[in-house]
């Protein structure tokens, strides 16, 4: 096992109606609130009203920044940070999924100094202060609610990248599975794919950590077991709660302690290229990229892939393991090939060249330009 430090300061409120604690938590943090949300789902499903009721009860002054888009961009983060600065914000509430919460985390470190969001993402500057972030999670997928990472894209440089620092953990996260009842079937499936992918990234990071292997395997099994049920009964509390907690645990450290990194993240880098080029939902990029990556790696790490397949599916080879993952992703209608997502073979060169330019790779399993070419072929 590699050495590791455990540090996770996020206080999580999990369960039915936990939002009723929001007012008193905000009161402890200050009076001026910046409320950040996305394109409007929170208004349709009542989550916005629940938050505003709590804020009214505690006498908070609310400034809103709406319109964060899926696959969020740094321009919105800079605009929201300016708004926060102008209004002397004490605390940020992020109501949404990974896109909203990731944006809010970077807003939180850019407000005071002030800093430019892309400089933070590229680690050109080191944040020294942050405004506390309260996350109200509305979709189970990324695990951002209990980790210090943010993933943003910059159209000017043609990059979608991740960054994390300890100042960026949400201070509080509210996880009410009922808030995910309204997530449509496609995004529910992408959330399942994403949480499985996070467990796999941890699993394929270097270092021997048997308990982390078992956590990762269990999270994958949990997700695969509940997937057909949650898709059939989207308003079933038991299924939504199991999915929500699995997603949080897939990327809050549980599955990677004792390894050389939080994950390999090579497949995510490939997925970010697809999100950037075709604005594909994050999870959908991963059900395409993971099988292709595994096919590339099966000559290099056959025993590791076989072991995973044995534990999860009871199969005995790397090929069967990969086939089982593809079958599962297909069964939940998460795309497995680029053509499933409507991306034709005429885009091959475009994808390879952006992967080359941005040096898409993992922390452990390094990918060369030749590998990029092979992976893109394998995604068709």
Applying CB under 6 A, the residues found at the interface with ligand NZQ are 38-42, 45, 70-72, 96-100, 102, 138-139, 141-144, 147, 149-151, 179-180, 182-183, 187, 194, 251, 268, 282
Contacts (Cβ under 8 Å, ≥6 apart) of 2: 207, 209, 258, 259, 260
Instruction: Give min distance, CB of 101 to ligand NZQ, in A.
Output: 7
Measured from the CB atom, the residue of 34 and 286 that comes closer to Zn ion is 286
Sign of CA dihedral 92, 279, 190, 311: negative
Question: How many other CB atoms sit within 10 Å of the CB of residue 151?
Answer: 24
Instruction: Give min distance, CB of 281 to ligand NZQ, in A.
Output: 6
Instruction: Give min distance, CB of 287 to Zn ion, in A.
Output: 11
Name the segment binding Zn ion (CB under 5 A); options: 13-21, 192-200, 327-335, 343-351.
Answer: 192-200
Structure tokens at 291: 């099988």
Residue written as token pair 């540090």: 7
Measured from the CB atom, the residue of 37 and 325 that comes closer to ligand NZQ is 37
Measured from the CB atom, the residue of 84 and 97 that comes closer to Zn ion is 97
217 binds Zn ion (CB under 5 A): no
Instruction: Give min distance, CB of 1 to ligand NZQ, in A.
Output: 24
- Judge if the upstream peptide bond of residue 114 is cis by omega within 30 degrees of 0: yes
Measured from the CB atom, the residue of 179 and 329 that comes closer to ligand NZQ is 179
Q: Which among ligand NZQ, Zn ion, none contacts residue 138 (Cβ within 5 to 8 A by kind)? A: ligand NZQ
Measured from the CB atom, the residue of 99 and 173 that comes closer to ligand NZQ is 99
∠ CA 353-152-36, rounded to 5°: 155
| Separation CA 84–CA 101 (nearest Å) | 15
264 binds Zn ion (CB under 5 A): no
CB of 207 within 8 A of CB of 221? no
Q: Which among ligand NZQ, Zn ion, none contacts residue 45 (Cβ within 5 to 8 A by kind)? A: ligand NZQ
In 251-368, alpha helices (H):
266-278, 282-297, 302-313, 318-331, 348-357
Measured from the CB atom, the residue of 72 and 309 that comes closer to ligand NZQ is 72
Nearest CA among 100, 370, 158 for reference residue 274: 158
Structure tokens at 195: 């949480």
In the chain, alpha helices (H):
22-29, 41-44, 47-57, 74-86, 98-110, 117-121, 185-203, 210-232, 237-250, 266-278, 282-297, 302-313, 318-331, 348-357, 369-378
269 binds Zn ion (CB under 5 A): no
Measured from the CB atom, the residue of 176 and 194 that comes closer to Zn ion is 194
Q: Which of 76, 194, 213, 217 binds Zn ion (CB under 5 A)?
A: 194
Q: Which among ligand NZQ, Zn ion, none contacts residue 98 (Cβ within 5 to 8 A by kind)? A: ligand NZQ
Nearest CA among 151, 154, 147, 145 for reference residue 163: 151
Task: Scan residues 46-65 and list those touching Zn ion (CB under 5 A).
Answer: none
Instruction: Give min distance, CB of 12 to Zn ion, in A.
Output: 19
| Separation CA 362–CA 356 (nearest Å) | 13
Count of residues that interact with Zn ion, criterion CB under 5 A? 1
CB of 293 within 8 A of CB of 269? no
Q: Which among Zn ion, ligand NZQ, none contacts residue 217 (Cβ within 5 to 8 A by kind)? A: none
Instruction: Give min distance, CB of 234 to Zn ion, in A.
Output: 21
| 149-154 vs 159-164, strand pairing mode | antiparallel
- Which helix H or strand E contains 316, and what residues bound it? none
Instruction: Give min distance, CB of 17 to ligand NZQ, in A.
Output: 15
Q: Which among ligand NZQ, Zn ion, none contacts residue 273 (Cβ within 5 to 8 A by kind)? A: none
| Separation CA 323–CA 96 (nearest Å) | 34
Measured from the CB atom, the residue of 178 and 311 that comes closer to ligand NZQ is 178
Q: Which among ligand NZQ, Zn ion, none contacts residue 323 (Cβ within 5 to 8 A by kind)? A: none
Measured from the CB atom, the residue of 25 and 196 that comes closer to Zn ion is 196
Q: Which among ligand NZQ, Zn ion, none contacts residue 109 (Cβ within 5 to 8 A by kind)? A: none
- The binding site for Zn ion (CB under 5 A) comprises 194
């Amino acid at each position: 096992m590699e050495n590791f430090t455990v540090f996770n300061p996020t206080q999580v409120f999990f369960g039915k109606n936990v939002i009723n604690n929001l007012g008193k938590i905000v009161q402890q943090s200050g009076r001026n609130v910046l409320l950040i949300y996305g394109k409007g789902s929170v208004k349709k499903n009542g989550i916005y009203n629940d938050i505003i009721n709590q804020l009214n009860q505690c006498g908070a002054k609310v400034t809103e920044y709406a319109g964060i888009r899926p696959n969020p961009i740094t321009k919105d983060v800079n605009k929201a940070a300016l708004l926060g600065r102008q209004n002397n914000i004490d605390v940020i509430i992020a109501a949404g999924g990974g896109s909203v919460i990731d944006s809010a985390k970077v807003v939180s470190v850019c407000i005071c100094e002030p800093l430019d969001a892309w400089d933070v993402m590229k680690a050109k500057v080191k944040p020294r202060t942050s405004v506390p972030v309260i996350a109200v999670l509305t979709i189970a997928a990324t695990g951002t609610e209990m980790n210090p990472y943010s993933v943003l894209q910059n159209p000017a440089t043609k990059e979608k990248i991740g960054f994390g620092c300890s100042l960026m953990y949400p201070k509080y996260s509210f996880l009410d599975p009922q808030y995910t009842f309204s997530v449509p079937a496609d995004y529910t499936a992408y959330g399942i794919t994403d949480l499985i992918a996070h467990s796999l990234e941890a699993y394929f990071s270097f270092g021997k950590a048997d308990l982390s292997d078992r956590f990762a395997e269990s999270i994958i099994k949990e997700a695969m077991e509940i997937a057909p049920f949650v898709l059939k009964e989207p308003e079933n509390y038991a299924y939504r709660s199991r999915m929500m907690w699995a997603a949080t645990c897939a990327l809050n450290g549980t599955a990677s302690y004792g390894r050389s990194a939080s994950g390999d993240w090579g497949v995510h880098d490939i997925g970010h290229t697809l999100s950037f080029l075709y604005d594909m939902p994050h999870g959908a990029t991963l059900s395409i990229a993971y099988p292709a990556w595994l096919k590339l790696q099966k000559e290099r790490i056959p025993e590791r892939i076989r072991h995973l397949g044995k534990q999860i599916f009871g199969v005995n080879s790397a090929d069967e393991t990969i086939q089982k993952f593809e079958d599962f992703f297909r069964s939940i209608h998460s795309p497995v090939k680029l053509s499933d997502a409507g991306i034709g073979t005429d885009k091959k060169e475009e994808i390879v060249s952006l992967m080359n330019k941005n040096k898409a790779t993992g922390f452990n399993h390094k990918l060369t330009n030749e590998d990029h070419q092979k992976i893109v072929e394998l995604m068709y």
